[in-house]
């Protein structure tokens, strides 16, 4: 808790109680100070809905997903920055490229018509689904080259998919999988196919260039989680699970018997236990160079020897400034409404019509 928590009046001023009340973003001792929402009087910020479900839900289960578990296994400190502190990450071109391809393929299989959509349709779905956020800082020529690359990838996908096209059982199948009473794993399965005799097949699209061999696919924690989720959703394990590497155009499929479902369950429970115990040690690894939080990480120090303030802190300051302005605008509006309501009420008790309009 900040000082403001002990002094609701201070928090009120900090929240924008007057035009000259804008507080510094940094305390006297140099620490970043954020608006203390909890300490503000009820109603200051209106009815705030949490933007994210809590990490530990009302039943005490830790809410995980494959990418959360993967992040934790890679580096617990990164997990903390991303999912506890909720520091914003940078959307990169590869993330946006992946989400655009996923969006186009979801629309391709989601038409609920028995005929395969044409290649032109698929490219139209790409146009609709194109997520430009991660490309914003790139020159236009580079953005176009990503788009053309995505078109080529989907043309190749269409050549593979059209001859064996059939309506899937599900696309983007959302699941919330309880694991004992310790965790809930949430996520969505890209596609679930069903064959003539009712066997289910789970497919996940990958947009990285490198294809994994069958042995590595069988060890995929993500596919094991999806297999368990499939049983939770449809009452049966899938017959096969596969990673479809859409860039090189190769699908690697393995039988469900090749998966280690018990190891996946243990990975979920181990991560949940570590999160409960608040173990968030930084673990330097080869991916640190691409980590959004490296500037904040105690495992890395800035060249002058002190911990560096990163983009995340700048973003927090920006949000804080915006919130400050919005709260002030809200207050002014509320004052105006209160004034008008008072004038109306005075006019009614005097028997005068139209006092509120100044007539």
Question: Rule CB under 6 A: which residues touch ligand SF4?
Answer: 75, 77-78, 282-285, 287-288, 291, 293-294, 297, 299-300
**To the nearest whole angstrom, how small is the minimum distance from the Cβ of residue 297 to ligand SF4?**
3
Q: Which is nearer to ligand SF4, 245 or 280 (CB)?
A: 280
Q: Which is nearer to ligand SF4, 191 or 294 (CB)?
A: 294
Cβ count near 9 (within 10 Å): 11
Neighbouring residues of 129: CB distance < 8 A, sequence distance ≥ 6: 99, 100, 102, 103, 104, 106, 107
Q: Which is nearer to ligand SF4, 205 or 280 (CB)?
A: 280
DSSP 23: P
Neighbouring residues of 112: CB distance < 8 A, sequence distance ≥ 6: 167
Using H for helix, E for strand and C for coil, what is the string for 76-92?
A: HHHHHHHHHCCCCCCCC
Q: For residue 117, which of 84, 77, 158, 73 has the smallest C-alpha distance?
A: 158
For residues 337 and 345, the answer to whether their CB atoms sit within 8 Å is no
Helix or strand run (H / E) with residue 62: strand 62-65
Q: For residue 54, which of 147, 171, 186 has the smallest C-alpha distance?
A: 186
**To the nearest whole angstrom, how small is the minimum distance from the Cβ of residue 216 to ligand SF4?**
22
Q: Which is nearer to ligand SF4, 95 or 299 (CB)?
A: 299
Cβ count near 181 (within 10 Å): 9
Give SS3 for 284.
Answer: coil
Q: Which is nearer to ligand SF4, 85 or 335 (CB)?
A: 85
**To the nearest whole angstrom, how small is the minimum distance from the Cβ of residue 290 to ligand SF4?**
8
Q: Which is nearer to ligand SF4, 85 or 260 (CB)?
A: 85
**To the nearest whole angstrom, how small is the minimum distance from the Cβ of residue 304 to ligand SF4?**
18
Q: Which is nearer to ligand SF4, 10 or 295 (CB)?
A: 295
CA–CA dist 320, 306 (Å, integer): 24
Structure tokens at 192: 């679930």
Tokens 């502190």, residue located: 85
**To the nearest whole angstrom, how small is the minimum distance from the Cβ of residue 73 to ligand SF4?**
11
Q: Which is nearer to ligand SF4, 72 or 226 (CB)?
A: 72
Q: Which is nearer to ligand SF4, 45 or 300 (CB)?
A: 300
**To the nearest whole angstrom, how small is the minimum distance from the Cβ of residue 72 to ligand SF4?**
11
**To the nearest whole angstrom, how small is the minimum distance from the Cβ of residue 312 to ligand SF4?**
11
Which residues are bridge partners to 241 per DSSP? 202, 254
**To the nearest whole angstrom, how small is the minimum distance from the Cβ of residue 68 to ligand SF4?**
14
**To the nearest whole angstrom, how small is the minimum distance from the Cβ of residue 281 to ligand SF4?**
9
Cα distances (angstroms) measured from residue 45 to each of 20, 216, 330: 19, 49, 9
DSSP 46: -
Q: For residue 106, which of 212, 226, 188, 198 has the smallest C-alpha distance?
A: 188
Which residues are bridge partners to 175 per DSSP? 187
């Amino acid at each position: 808790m900040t000082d403001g928590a002990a002094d609701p009046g201070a928090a009120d001023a900090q929240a924008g109680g007057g035009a000259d009340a804008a507080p510094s973003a940094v305390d006297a001792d140099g620490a970043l100070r954020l608006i203390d929402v909890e300490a503000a009087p009820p109603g200051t910020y209106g009815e705030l809905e949490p933007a994210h479900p809590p990490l530990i839900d009302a039943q005490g289960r830790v809410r995980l997903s494959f990418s959360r578990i993967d992040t934790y296994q890679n580096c617990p400190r990164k997990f903390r920055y991303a999912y506890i502190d909720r520091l914003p990450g940078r959307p990169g071109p590869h993330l946006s490229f992946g989400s655009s391809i996923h969006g186009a393929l979801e629309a391709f299989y989601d038409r609920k018509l028995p005929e395969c959509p044409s290649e032109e349709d698929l490219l139209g779905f790409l146009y609709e689904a194109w997520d430009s956020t991660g490309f914003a800082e790139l020159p236009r020529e580079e953005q176009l080259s990503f788009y053309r690359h995505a078109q080529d990838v989907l043309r190749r996908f269409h050549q593979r998919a059209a001859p064996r096209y059939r309506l899937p059982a599900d696309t983007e199948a959302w699941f919330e999988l309880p694991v004992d009473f310790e965790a809930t794993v949430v996520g969505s399965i890209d596609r679930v196919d069903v064959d003539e005799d009712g066997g289910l097949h789970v497919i996940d699209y990958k947009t990285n260039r490198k294809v994994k061999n069958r042995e590595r696919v069988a060890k995929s924690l993500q596919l094991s989680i999806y297999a368990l989720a499939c049983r939770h959703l449809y009452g049966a394990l899938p017959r096969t699970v596969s990673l479809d590497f859409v860039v090189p155009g190769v699908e690697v499929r393995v039988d469900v018997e090749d998966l280690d479902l018990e190891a996946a369950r243990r990975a979920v429970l181990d991560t949940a236990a570590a999160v409960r115990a608040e173990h968030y040690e930084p673990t330097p690894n080869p991916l640190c160079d691409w980590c959004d939080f490296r500037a904040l990480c105690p495992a890395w120090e800035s060249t002058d020897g002190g911990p560096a303030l990163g983009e995340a802190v700048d973003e927090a300051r920006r949000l804080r400034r915006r919130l400050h302005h919005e709260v002030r605008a809200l207050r002014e509006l509320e004052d105006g409404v209160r004034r008008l309501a008072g004038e109306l009420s005075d006019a009614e008790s005097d028997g005068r019509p139209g006092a509120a309009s100044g007539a």
